Amino acid sequence: MNAELSSLRVKLFSDGADTKTMLEMASKPYIKGLTTNPTLMKKAGVKNYRLFAREVLAEIRTKPISFEVFSDDLAEMKYQALEIASWAENVYVKIPITNSKGVPTTEVISYLTSNDVKLNITAILTSIQVAEILPALNSKVSNYISVFAGRIADTGVDPLPIMKDCLNLIEANPMSELIWASPRELLNIFQAEEIGCHIITTTSDILSKINLIGKDLTNYSLDTVKMFRNDAIDSGFEIHEA
């Protein structure tokens, strides 16, 4: 199944903050890059941002890795972004589409790309947001545009039309690549592939299901019945007449 994943046009980026898992994922040829964020870092127990990043970057030197700023102040965002970008050539700096007060970060994006900082603009959920940031990008500097398709789907909205609109919009900037962020299931990889999305982030939990690719559904049904049966026996369930 690794060969099947390697043949995909969409690039798989591993999303996480556990150092051991990040290094394991980076060693796989079908993983083309990595991303993380403050929430994942908190869950992984990261206490020292710089030390965590330095340890990861000491081992992963070529595949792109995205680290996020966390300031709510736009001027401080610029400082943090320049510092993070200095850590290694393969670093992309994550800039949220707005700060936590809803103030757009367009001016921050413009400043950083004009200073040749590679960016990953994150937490985007609409094609309007993509359209608004495109004029701020430097057409000579690589950037990622992360649209959280999984979160869009969580609201009951089909993300596919939005992702297609975003792909059409970023055609104007050849240095931009669209990321299908926050996937919820293995199917999302193939959906991203079908529409021509450049990148999809994925967790180790989702990739653990790759052995199911192409599995016969009738056999899978039987496996499911066997699982229910075995779990009932292991639990010692009985039904007796009163």
Q: Please give the pLDDT value at position 144.
A: 98
Q: Please give the pLDDT value at position 210.
A: 87
Q: Tell me, what CATH number does 208's domain have?
A: 3.20.20.70
Domain membership flag for residue 242: no
Domain membership flag for residue 199: yes
Please answer whether residues 72 and 98 qualify as being in contact, where contact means their C-beta atoms are separated by less than 8 angstroms. no
| DSSP H/E element including 222 | helix 217-234
pLDDT in tens, the chain (242 residues): 455 676 889 999 999 999 999 999 999 999 999 999 999 999 999 999 999 999 999 999 999 999 999 999 999 999 999 999 999 999 999 999 999 999 999 999 999 999 999 999 999 999 999 999 999 999 999 999 999 999 999 999 999 999 999 999 999 899 999 999 999 999 999 999 999 999 999 998 898 898 898 899 999 999 999 999 999 999 999 998 76
Q: Please give the pLDDT value at position 5.
A: 72
Name the nearest CA neighbour of 153 among 203, 97, 102, 191: 191
Name the nearest CA neighbour of 137 among 90, 177, 89, 100: 177
Domain membership flag for residue 121: yes
H helical segments located in 27-73: 38-43, 49-59
| DSSP H/E element including 107 | helix 106-114
Q: Please give the pLDDT value at position 242.
A: 60
Q: Please give the pLDDT value at position 108.
A: 98
Q: How many domains does the chain have?
A: 1
Structure letter (DSSP) for residue 182: S
| DSSP H/E element including 153 | helix 149-154
Structure letter (DSSP) for residue 11: E
Distance CA 91, CA 57 (A): 9
Range of the domain at 69: 2-213
What is each CA distance from 5 to 22, 29, 118, 146, 162, in whole angstroms? 18, 9, 26, 21, 25
Domain membership flag for residue 31: yes
Q: Please give the pLDDT value at position 241.
A: 72
| DSSP H/E element including 200 | strand 199-202
Strand partners, 14: 34, 202
Domain membership flag for residue 237: no
The CB-side HSE value for 137 (13 A sphere, CA atoms) comes to: 27
Residue 86 has phi, psi (to 5 degrees) of -75, -10
Structure letter (DSSP) for residue 9: S
Please answer whether residues 110 and 141 qualify as being in contact, where contact means their C-beta atoms are separated by less than 8 angstroms. no
Domain membership flag for residue 108: yes
Domain membership flag for residue 240: no
What amino acid is encoded at 212 in this protein? Answer: L
pTM: 0.94
Distance CA 28, CA 171 (A): 30
Domain membership flag for residue 235: no
Handedness of CA 67, 58, 86, 92 (dihedral sign): negative
